[in-house]
Structure 1
Amino acid sequence: MTIPTPVSSKASPSAAIAENAKASNFLRQIIETDLEKGTYASRCWGGSPGDAAHHAKGQSDPAKIRTRFPPEPNGYLHIGHAKSICLNFGLARDYVGVCHLRFDDTNPEKEDTEYVNSIIDAVKWLGFDWSQPGNSLPYQASDYFDFMYRAAEYLIEAGHAYVDEQTPEQMRVNRGDFGKPGIDSPYRSRTPTDNLARFRQMRDGLYEDGAMVLRAKIDMGSPNINMRDPAIYRIRRATHHNTGDKWCIYPMYTFAHPIEDALEQITHSICTLEFEDQRPFYDWLMARLIEGALLASPPPRQYEFARLNLTYVITSKRKLAQLVYDHKVSGWDDPRMPTIVGLRRRGYTPEALQLFAERIGVTKSDSWIDYSTLEGCLRETLERSAHRGFAVLNPVKLV
């Protein structure tokens, strides 16, 4: 006979308070300061992503903040992405805002609709929703390609960008290093008219892949190498999963990413620490496009946090993909994989991953999280919902 042991679904008042209390961190402090100062209170929302003129026609933005989760659809999401999902969607929920799901699909050679569908499924399974009044679909960076091209032409006309015909090796050498300033490209002094003509020829497919790139004109002597005239457009003949063969030039991620945030009126653009050195370019680009009245003000701001390092776990999408392609595992959902679908198949619950993300917190310093912390979060969530029972399989008669 099986006698179930009751498990109470109601926590004590003190436990409920502790569970609902959100530990403060530097991101929450930034958001609370912005809300107190009304940093983004003047923003308008045009009902959909758009340029400055589009949003100027809209109403006051009903969202107090706007965050985003912008994965590249080139693989399945893993435990590190789960932390970012919980962080961005959680902050938007807690501060009466909206979190956008956006596919950063600017690299046509590595992206696929299979990965797009898997990302949508993972976010929904974790318990989050990106829908808002007037729109229930995720955004795609490729939907902004027309505006990105327009922004690139504006930078050329304003003297902030030029077409460079150096070889990749020449550009690498002339960029310098941490101890040596860069050298100006021989094509840097071209007139805006000449640059614009060549850029349009790039767009029209008159040059081979890699023959030239469009570079921002900033400062080849900057101590930050990322500010030494970074490439912002390249020639790449590849069929895109969303735009097909419309384009043979594609924006670089560092150029596309700030523009996507601005078009969507993102307030707090949260990413991992490897993008910290890219923030000056982010701010430079926002300032130039606001000067040209292409984007609305105030611009989004980028903030960085330390990525998840979990003991005994690989969180590199490239390395995980290699395991799949080399048939070392049965697929992205192999229970041994740290992907969200793999964890789900292993028996992890959305509540466990949310608790894990909340418990490990957010910092700006790299650290390692012991795997037992993740396992403990699973045990803790199952403790409240798992049914238990006692049974005597071979009873012994005592009387």
Structure 2
Amino acid sequence: MTAAAVAAAAAAAEAYPRIVATLIRVTGDWNLAEDSAQDALAAALERWPRDGVPDNPGGWLMTVARNRAVDVLRRSQVEQRKLRDLAVLALTAPEPAAPGAFVDDRLRLIFTCCHPALPLEARVALTLRTICAVPTADIARAFLVTESAMSRRLSRAKTKIATAGIPYRVPAGRALTERLPGVLAVLYLLFTQGYNADGEPAFADEAIRLVRLVERLLPGQPEVPALLALFLFQHSRRDARRDAAGDLLTLDRQDRSRWDHAAIAEGTAILSRVAADGVYGLQAHIAACHATAASAQDTDWLRIAGCYDRLAAAQPSPVIALNRAVAHGYAHGPRAGLALLAAARADGALDGYPHAVAVEADLTARLGWQDRAAELFRQAAAAAFSDEERRALLARAELSTCTDAPPPHPGARSAT
């Protein structure tokens, strides 16, 4: 990649959401804003290698995008007010953004994309497309649909914003407190789309970038830095989660020297000012126990189990109940884990869920019932969500059939 292309990519990452947000505010036209920003990026890739990178790349991109929007509006003979607003924008756009500038526009865009009136999947897709500039084809691949189908979903989401009168603003006061968890839930799902075994790793990077932005623009909201710390701890393992053949490795088998210790240090520093409270605060403290342990055997399972007790009380769900069973299984023994697992499965919510079967298999293996454990691992593999998980579970089944094999130590679990 040329120096000009690198500069264009860096400028795009910083300036793209600001440009799109500003043009949406001025024109009220999502497609025009996105098209204008994309045209500006294309112009940069064409001109910068020839003319050199400008002193203010973001301002250059804003100017080109604004001019493109002006041209389109003039051709379509839209109301003169929008043209006047864009003309005013031209007086300030080329200057470097001052600290705090464009805060409202970027936050408006994030809160609009994450509005609860939109389906959750549409919120994630719209965030990726509009704020992160992820190509529609990549979003479609992540959601296992065709590009044309994803284009239609994005179009419907934008249409709903327009026709339903969804306000392009950041809520204030109590409304902000009520809406922020929904925004963080979208970012959490976006991170998960990148962290999953078959996910798009770049999506996890985008989630981290966006939660950093939200933290900078909305200081004083404790769950925001907690979510950032959680992402950093989880993402620190990205380079160690697979072996040379590309197969998933459980925590106990990962080479911890390959973890991103700078990210772990940053997450630890953030967590020093975030209480083990709130949904993301508790999850971040759990993740810290794994990330900061010298080895799997040194993991503080008693603390993890205590955090899951509080998390299950704060936000009861089948998956949290399942993870609580895992934690108690390592903190208090496999029989305690199996008892909590049975309680978690009592209402049928975890029926057919492969991770629940895998947890039962792991706890069963630790009791010494290897044949039964192997059978359960094979059942979990048959229902696995990805080929990577399927291979990992079948490998555990094979290990369980080897009667001379030692039982997995207390760090062994299905998580990666």
TM-score normalized with structure 1 length:
0.22
**Bigger proportion of residues as helix:** 2
Task: Kindly indicate which of the two structures has a greater share of residues assigned to strand.
Answer: 1
Higher relative CO (Cα under 8 Å, sequence separation at least 6) belongs to 1
Q: State TM-score, norm by structure 2.
A: 0.21
